[in-house]
Structure 1
Amino acid sequence: MPKVKTEKKSRIHETIAKQGILFNKDFGQHILRNPLVIQSIVDKAAIRPSDVVVEVGPGTGNMTLQMLPKCKQVIAYEVDPRMVAELEKRVQGTSLKSKLQIKVGDVLKEKKLPFFDLCIANVPYQISSPLVFKLLLHEPPFRCAVLMFQREFAERLVAKPGDKCYCRLSVNTQLLARVDMLLKVGKNNFRPPPKVESNVVRIEPKNPRPSINYVEWDGLTRIVFGRKNKTIAASFKQTTVMTMLEKNYKLHCSLRNIPVPDNFNIKDLVNKILDEADAATKRARTMDMDDFMSLLHSFNSNGIHFT
């Protein structure tokens, strides 16, 4: 039995090798090959002739070549020099070459992305979360992103309070953007096929952004979603959480010349805030955006910060 499995895997690798490139799974290389799916993604992005488009992980350029005639420029980030060479070869000697700028390297290591209007990409799944937040915290805000993700990740992006997959990712993303599911993409539309199904989502940054300190927000949601099925009060009882909050509170008081009472107890203050905000018995998985904003405001108003 193992012999048959080995032979089957060998045939797959031989087929891929004949096509010129052996894909590197360490880079999450699963090339989208269905032209109808590619066309649908590009169409849903509603590219304008004046648009600068960022693409992450263009691979051999199947989607890049569909976008180039429709926009002003595509800035493509690719970590694999072999893919870069393939993409360059496909535009060589064409009018599209001048519209394509390829940046070789990891997009996550870029200190600041250039100005762009759209981001359209079949995202390497292992960088999904950091890429989403790198994009959403980019200044100035872009118009929208149309991105392919692993289905489970996409479902978490759009989840609402009470949904099984509602989590910190859902709340943090939806604070900064509107997220909509666009289409499902089966694994057989890729070469080589991944082990999971995929979904395409549209992410439209809120402009202007909510007037809220995102670092504070992220600190709060990190605590309450650490145990999303437990009560908020239980989430704050952890020793490491209390130690951090006490340190931040005393720093806050020191910077404002506010005396800290000798009998000060951070647990008492936290419990008081949770009770007054009517949050102690709530659970993160059922709380909506307004609930979290109200809770953060209550903590900050009492001198407790999460930075």
Structure 2
Amino acid sequence: MPKVKSEKKSRIHNAVAKQGIMFNKSFGQHILKNPLIITSMIEKSALRPTDTVLEIGPGTGNMTMKLLEQVKQVVACEIDPRLVAELQKRVQSTPYRQKLQIMIGDVLKTELPFFSVCVANIPYQISSPLVFKLLLHRPFFRCAVLMFQKEFAERLVAKPGDKLYCRLSINTQLLARVDMLMKVGKNNFRPPPKVESAVVRIEPRNPPPPIAYTEWDGLTRIAFARKNKTLGSAFRQSVVLATLEKNYALHCSLHDKSVPEGFKMKEKVEEILAKTEFEQKRARVMDIDDFMVLLHAFNSEGVHFS
């Protein structure tokens, strides 16, 4: 019987296996094993010796060790205590031990410290909330180089009229410049995920646009709920009109005004859409400037989305 060739594993993965640590798919644990991709991600982040780098989901520390070579400090946020122990063991006898700060827990529920750059192969199931947690973090960071599921990355960089253009696209691009850096195949991970991946660079706009983000988010949520329908159709939904009417009453109350007698939100919305000539427009082809004009028109008439 021919000898079966055993699968080659890196020293660190052998060490993890000996401890009986199995990667947890519920945590999105797919360890990036290709050193060339790790090196490329770090190069694209343009690190400085004075930087504090946030790494989310460091896993067994393949990227962490390379980051520690180049920066002042690495803050690694890891949810799995088993991998935290492995990472601590990996650095304890090295000169980098003092440069590594490990935060144990769910990054979405953790108050993030100051960091200047974020470099990470993140769990894909937290992609969207994590992007906005980072973009709304203060003080501003310089850039983030992040690995995402390929389709999610394509949505981040999609432009008006593209098939994948959506609320995620415009909300992200309002707050940051987003660039696709490279695509990454499944076999670069252990265990291989079911989807292809891609690396994106996100650079926050500093200063941010002078608008209330909660208002913006409320408007785009309505518009992109039916992105192929006209705005006139989207705003005629009874749930939408009820929410806007409630917000309008609150706005009037806060400004010591009374709701005009016979006021109907549907008529007000139709009037604003007609005046701005957006009634027949569709969200899928509207850019940031279009939505800024529309948001200003609504807010100027006391119509609010948050």
- Cα distance in structure 1, aligned partners of 2:18 and 2:98: 30
Q: Does 1:69 align with 2:82?
A: no
- Cα distance in structure 1, aligned partners of 2:127 and 2:299: 31
- Cα distance in structure 2, aligned partners of 1:83 and 1:230: 47
Q: Which runs of 5+ in 1 are unaligned?
A: 1-10
Q: Any residues of structure 2 matched to 1:154-303 within 5 Å, and which?
A: 154-303=153-302
Per the alignment, residue 38 of structure 1 pairs with 38
Per the alignment, residue 6 of structure 1 pairs with none
Shift of 1:19: 8.0
Give deviations 1:79-129, integer Å, cap 9, x for gaps.
00111011111111110110000011011101x311110000001000000
- Cα distance in structure 1, aligned partners of 2:193 and 2:19: 18
Shift of 1:258: 2.4
- Cα distance in structure 1, aligned partners of 2:279 and 2:19: 59
Shift of 1:21: 2.5
Give the percent of matched residue pairs that are identical in Structure 1 and Structure 2: 69
Give deviations 1:32-56, integer Å, cap 9, x for gaps.
0001111111111111000000000
Give deviations 1:179-238, integer Å, cap 9, x for gaps.
000011100000000000000000000000101000000000000000001001111111
Q: Does 1:134 align with 2:141?
A: no
- Cα distance in structure 1, aligned partners of 2:198 and 2:254: 48
Report the AA paired with residue 41 of structure 1. Answer: M
Shift of 1:261: 2.3
Shift of 1:260: 2.1
- Cα distance in structure 2, aligned partners of 1:196 and 1:306: 36
Shift of 1:253: 1.4
- Cα distance in structure 2, aligned partners of 1:281 and 1:17: 59
- Cα distance in structure 1, aligned partners of 2:96 and 2:254: 57
Shift of 1:17: 4.5
Q: Which runs of 4 or more aligned residues in structure 1 lie more than 6 Å from their structure 2 counterparts after TM superposition?
A: none
Give the structure-2-normalised TM-score. 0.94
Q: Aligned residues, how many?
A: 293
Give the structure-1-normalised TM-score. 0.93
**Alignment RMSD (CA, Å):** 1.3
Per the alignment, residue 96 of structure 1 pairs with 96
| Partner-residue secondary structure (3-state), 1:154 | helix
In structure 2, do the counterparts of structure 1 residues 154 and 19 end up closer, same or farther at CA, with 3 Å as the change threshold?
farther
Report the AA paired with residue 173 of structure 2. Answer: Q
Q: Which runs of 5+ in 2 are unaligned?
A: 1-6, 8-13
Per the alignment, residue 58 of structure 2 pairs with 58
Per the alignment, residue 117 of structure 1 pairs with 116
Report the AA paired with residue 166 of structure 2. Answer: C
